Amino acid sequence: MKITVMTADEQILTLDVDRDESVIILLLLHLNPNFTSMELKLVENLKALLEVETQVPLQQQQLLHNGREMRNAEKLSALGVGDGDLVMMVANASSSNSRPGAPANTVGFNPDGSAVNPSAFQQHLRSDSNLMAQLFQSDPELAQAILGNDLNRLQDLLRARNRQRTELKRQQEEEMALLYADPFDVEAQKKIEAAIRQKGIDENWAAALEYNPEAFGRVIMLYVDMEVNGVPLKAFVDSGAQSTIISKSCAERCGLLRLLDTRYKGIAHGVGQSEILGRIHVAPIKIGSIFYPCSFLVLDAPNMEFLFGLDMLRKHQCTIDLKENVLRVGGGEVAVPFLAEKDLPSRFLDEERYSQEASGSGAQATSATKENISTPTGPSAGGGTGNNASQGPDFEAKVTKLVELGFGREQVIQALKFFDGNEEQAAGFLFGG
Q: What is the pLDDT of residue 251?
A: 92
Rg (CA), the chain: 36
80 in Cβ contact with 92 (< 8 Å): no
Q: Is the pLDDT of residue 318 over 90?
A: yes
**Which pLDDT does position 25 carry in this prediction?**
38
Catalytic residue among 185, 225, 238, 300: 238
Task: Please tell me the predicted confidence (pLDDT) of residue 213.
Answer: 77
Per-residue pLDDT, averaged over 111-115, amounts to: 86
pTM for the structure as a whole: 0.45
280 pLDDT tier (thresholds 50, 70, 90): very high
Between 265 and 283, residue with greater pLDDT:
283
pLDDT(346) > 90: no
Instruction: Give CA separation, 196 vs 13, 114, 189, 220, 284, in Å.
Output: 37, 33, 11, 35, 60
DSSP 287-326: ETTEEEEEEEEEE--TT--EEE-HHHHHHTT-EEETTTTE
340 secondary structure, DSSP code: P
Concerning whether 9 is annotated as a catalytic residue, the answer is no
285 pLDDT exceeds 90? yes
Instruction: Provide the pLDDT confidence category of residue 379 given band limits of 50, 70 and 90.
Output: very low
Q: State how far the Cα of 14 lies from the Cα of 84, in Å rounded to an integer.
A: 10
Q: Looking at the predicted structure, is the pLDDT value of residue 93 above 60?
A: no
Alpha-carbon distance 342 to 26, whole Å? Answer: 52
Residue ranges of the domains in the chain?
A: 2-169, 181-217, 223-371, 392-432
In this predicted model, what pLDDT tens digit does every residue of 247-277 receive, in sequence order?
A: 999 999 999 999 999 888 877 655 456 788 9
Tell me: pLDDT of 32 over 50.
Answer: no
- pLDDT of amino acid 29: 32
pLDDT given for residue 268 in this prediction: 64
Q: Are 2-169 and 223-371 equal in CATH topology?
A: no
Average pLDDT over residues 193-216: 84
Q: What is the CATH number of domain 2-169?
A: 3.10.20.90
Q: Which fold has domain 223-371?
A: Cathepsin D, subunit A; domain 1 (2.40.70)
Q: Give bridge partners of residue 109 from the DSSP assignment.
A: 115
pLDDT at 335: 94
Instruction: Find out whether 2 and 16 touch, Cβ atoms under 8 Å.
Output: yes
Kindly report which listed range (80-89, 214-223, 352-361) carries the lowest average pLDDT score. Answer: 352-361
Contact assessment for residue 364 and residue 245, using Cβ atoms and an 8 Å cutoff: yes
In the chain, the amino acid numbered 299 is: L
Q: What's the whole-number mean pLDDT along residues 401-423? A: 79
Q: What pLDDT is attached to residue 107?
A: 63
- pLDDT for residue 12: 76
Residue 344 has pLDDT above 50, yes or no: yes
Q: What pLDDT, on a 0 to 100 scale, did the predictor assign at position 350? A: 57
User: What is the band of 38 on the pLDDT scale with cuts at 50, 70, 90?
Assistant: very low
Higher pLDDT, 14 or 385: 14
Whether the predicted pLDDT of 166 surpasses 50:
yes
CATH 1.10.8 is right for the domain spanning 392-432: yes
* Average pLDDT in the chain: 75
Per-residue confidence (pLDDT) for residue 139, from 0 to 100: 81
